[in-house]
Amino acid sequence: MGFNLLTLFYLIGSVTFIMGLKMLSHPETARKGNLLAAFGMILSIFGTIFLYEDNGTPLHNYPWIFGALMIGTLAGVMAAKKVKMTAMPEMVSLFNGMGGACAALISIVEFRHITAPFSLPGWHVLLSNNDSAGLYIPIMLGLIIGSISFAGSMIAWGKLNGRINDLSFKGQQAFNIVLFLAMLLVSGYLIGWLDSANYLLFYVVFIAAIVYGVLFVLPIGGADMPVVISLLNSFTGVAAACAGFLYHNQVMLTGGILVGAAGTLLTTLMCRAMNRSLWNVLIGSFGGNTAIAGAAGVAGSYKEISITDAAVVMAYAHKVIIVPGYGLAVAQAQHTCHELELLLQEKGVEVTYAIHPVAGRMPGHMNVLLAEADVSYDKLLEMEVANEQFRSTDVVLILGANDVVNPAAKTDPASPIYGMPILEVEQAKTIIVNKRSMKPGYAGIENALFFQPKTSMLFGDAKAALQKLVAEIKNL
């Protein structure tokens, strides 16, 4: 009875994961999809705790199990409540790294169970040596992929919050490739040599995977971090799927496959949006030390616009497109931006938002930011759609975006972002750019757009500038 009910719980959990992922594809259903998937996870967890049996013996050590659940739940809730929207990418990296660490620890524990069966208080052999042949592969894969995901996510977390700078050395690409191949060769040896409990080589692979994860992310430029976060997320999913295969746990397997597949597809889309190859990501040469290249050569003078002039231009426009960027998130100005949108609409102005796939610091950052302010999803235009509408747009208001509107991506072969699809805002009649200063964006290069005749600079904090703009428009 317990086994059949547990199987049913796993089936329900797997179905809720699939349905939840589908609902996450639209902002209007994303919240419900998240709750539905969470329900399936809770059902699977408690089903495992109370219904799982190993040779007729149920799980024990409930104080340890529920103690860990309470600590993890408390830490997760506190982190989610305190995190600022600007720090959301950092939290995603941190939580993703924890998932990779769990998968790696599972591999370490099960390797010991298989190669050195022993009995200690609270321990028991889950797997026999006769079963070990087909389990070495998921153990080694979980160890390597989980360790890379953990180490890489920790470096990504440090780079996003400014604690770690880009760092690379001559021949790093070749070293990364050699290190990765060496891990595979040693793992192949351990898989084929089933009678040898070679702990030394096993932990050498573990350490090598940690080192590779660090070197894999360390040289990557900040502007390319959305792709890296997506890729590391897919790694964690694959590592979790290996653990599910190891334990014959259907819900872990399904969840891991879904995360791995979704992360891989998103990574491919991010690479396409950044005009990068996935191969360069895998060998750890993604945007490293190229940020300053091509920064020179941008000359000219810029012009400023006052709040009053900006308010007049926007209030009497027929069509306005707002381009949100990281500066909007830093200023936490999404609610004021929505207020501006509603105010312009009252005056008969058509207002929409142009969303670049890699705007911000993680995939979907701007979508989440605007959804928090209750901006209608119908107002969010994807890059391809927005580019078709800029020619008929009277005013483009750029709020903290930089690299994703830089025309150098189309005109300057020496630029590190050359070939990257951008929002072609230069086609609009008037361009207003809100920035704190003329400091280059996250890619470290100047933006020629700021020096074009149709562009006017509105300096200042995004929230303060938008509040003044709203007040001025109300007085017109």
DSSP 59: P
Query: What is the predicted pLDDT for the residue at 408?
Result: 85
* Side-chain half-sphere CA neighbours of 226 within 13 A: 25
Give the Cα separation of 14 and 3 in Å (integer). 16
Looking at the DSSP bridge assignments, the partners of residue 459 are 435
> Structure tokens of 225?
């971090």
Q: Residue type at 194?
A: L
> Structure tokens of 329?
């998130």
The strand pair at 53-54 and 57-58 is best described as antiparallel
Q: Distances in Å between the alpha carbon of 321 and those of 132, 280, 389?
A: 60, 34, 9
Query: What is the predicted pLDDT for the residue at 128?
Result: 42
Query: What is the predicted pLDDT for the residue at 127?
Result: 40
Give the Cα separation of 61 and 120 in Å (integer). 14
Query: What is the predicted pLDDT for the residue at 323?
Result: 95
Q: Residue type at 18?
A: I
- The CATH superfamily assigned to 307-475 is TPP-binding domain (3.40.50.1220)
What does the domain layout of the chain look like in residue ranges? Answer: 2-282, 307-475
Task: Tell me which residue of 323, 306, 333 sits closest to 463, measured CA to CA.
Answer: 333
Query: What is the predicted pLDDT for the residue at 223?
Result: 61
Q: Residue type at 165?
A: N
Give the Cα separation of 169 and 397 in Å (integer). 40
Give the Cα separation of 148 and 135 in Å (integer). 20
Query: How confident is the model over 123-149, as pLDDT tens digits?
Result: 333 344 445 557 788 999 999 999 999
H helices within 161-224, ranges in order? Answer: 172-192, 199-217
- The answer to whether the predicted template modeling score (pTM) of the entire model surpasses 0.85 is no
Print pLDDT tens along the chain (476 aa): 445 788 899 999 999 999 998 888 777 788 899 999 999 999 999 998 988 877 777 888 899 999 999 999 999 899 888 887 667 788 888 999 999 999 999 999 988 877 765 444 443 333 444 455 577 889 999 999 999 999 999 998 888 877 887 777 788 888 988 999 999 999 888 887 654 567 888 899 999 999 999 998 888 766 677 778 888 999 999 999 999 988 888 889 999 999 999 888 888 877 776 666 767 655 544 444 444 444 445 556 889 999 999 999 999 999 999 999 888 888 889 999 999 999 999 999 999 999 988 787 777 788 888 888 888 888 999 889 999 999 999 999 999 888 889 888 888 787 777 778 889 999 999 999 998 877 776 556 788 899 999 999 999 899 999 999 999 999 88
Query: How confident is the model over 211-254, as pLDDT tens digits?
Result: 999 998 888 766 677 778 888 999 999 999 999 988 888 889 99
Give the Cα separation of 430 and 433 in Å (integer). 10
Task: Tell me which residue of 341, 425, 142 sits closest to 256, measured CA to CA.
Answer: 142
Looking at the DSSP bridge assignments, the partners of residue 435 are 459
Instruction: Write the burial class of residue 386 (CB in 10 Å: 0-12 exposed, 13-18 middle, 19+ buried).
Output: buried
φ, ψ of residue 141 to 5 degrees: the values are -65, -45
The strand pair at 319-324 and 350-355 is best described as parallel
CB within 8 A of 306, min separation 6: which ones? none
How far out from the chain centre does Cα 135 lie? 31
Q: How far apart are the first and last CA of the chain?
A: 73
Collapsed DSSP state (helix, strand, coil) of residue 220 = coil
- The residues assigned a catalytic role are 403
Query: What is the predicted pLDDT for the residue at 126?
Result: 38
Report the residue count for the chain. 476
Give the Cα separation of 173 and 165 in Å (integer). 18
Q: Residue type at 372?
A: E
